[in-house]
Amino acid sequence: MNLGQNRWLRHWGLFDPIGNLAKFSGEAVPPSDRAGLVLPALEFPLSSEVRLTDQFARKWPNPLPLLFETLFEVPPNRPIDNVRWRKRIFELIEASSWESAGRAEAVLRLTYLAHHNALTDDESASFGRALWSKTDGQDSPLPLDTGLLSYSFAELPKSSSSFLRSRSGTLTPEPPITGQSSSS
């Protein structure tokens, strides 16, 4: 995973080999031991963090989905008080905001953590605000530029300002995020 940190290896011709190396290295580790690979995969830089142009950003490897056949098969082994985990999650939340070029990559990594309840309440609330900061403007808005399918948003954190559309077509405020009152 450290290959992503090396600025001399950021040539577009090396993106596929680096991705393949991450994938096949991950497959060599027994599934029961892969939880230890999650933090290095999260720390692998986003394409926006290495300042790739849009043309090359799509080819930049994202090791988290490469390591696991399905992102949800291996839960992370996250110690809540670990500074490296907290720092990286904070960076990913910032990168998942509406103006970030690395939004889709960051949202995918945070979705994995949210699915496994590996985010603290504060992190989950911040992710919800960032995720829902850019919507499609429809009657029942969904987040844009995430790379996720529509049904994925059902289990992800919500923004405290988002609304749910009932079957009758009326807008109803969603339940407040844990720790917040409905008047805030």
What's the whole-number mean pLDDT along residues 62-75? 69
Within this chain, do residues 48 and 119 fall inside the same structural domain, yes or no? no
Same domain for 135 and 92: yes
Domain count, the chain: 2
Domain boundary (76, 94, 111) is at 76
d(Cα 117, Cα 76) in Å, to the nearest integer? 9
Cα atoms in the Cβ-side hemisphere of radius 13 Å centred on 124: 19
| Residue 52, CA distances (Å) to 29, 36, 56, 174 in order | 30, 28, 6, 37
Please say if the pLDDT value at position 36 is more than 60: yes
98 and 158 part of one domain: yes
- Residues 82, 167, single domain; the answer is yes
Q: How would residue 57 be classed by pLDDT, with cut points 50, 70 and 90?
A: low
State the residue for tokens 């098969």: 73
- pLDDT tens figures, 99-124: 888 898 999 999 989 988 999 999 99
Please check whether residues 97 and 177 belong to one and the same domain.
Answer: yes
pLDDT digits (tens, 9 = 90+) for 144-179: 888 888 888 888 888 765 444 433 333 344 444 444
Does residue 175 share a domain with residue 97? yes
Residues 108 and 133 in one domain: yes
- Global pTM reads 0.75
Q: 90 versus 15: which is more confidently predicted?
A: 90
Of residues 84, 81, 70, 68, the one with CA closest to residue 35? 68
State whether 83 and 72 are in the same domain: no
Using the 3D structure, point to which of 44, 76, 108 is the last residue of a domain. Answer: 76
Average pLDDT of every residue of the chain: 77
Give the integer Cα–Cα distance in Å for 26 and 33.
Answer: 10
- pLDDT average, residue stretch 5-12: 68
Residue ending a domain, among 76, 102, 129, is 76
Q: Which domain holds residue 173?
A: 78-184
Are 29 and 60 part of one and the same domain?
Answer: yes
Residue 26: the pLDDT is 76
Average pLDDT over residues 4-28: 73
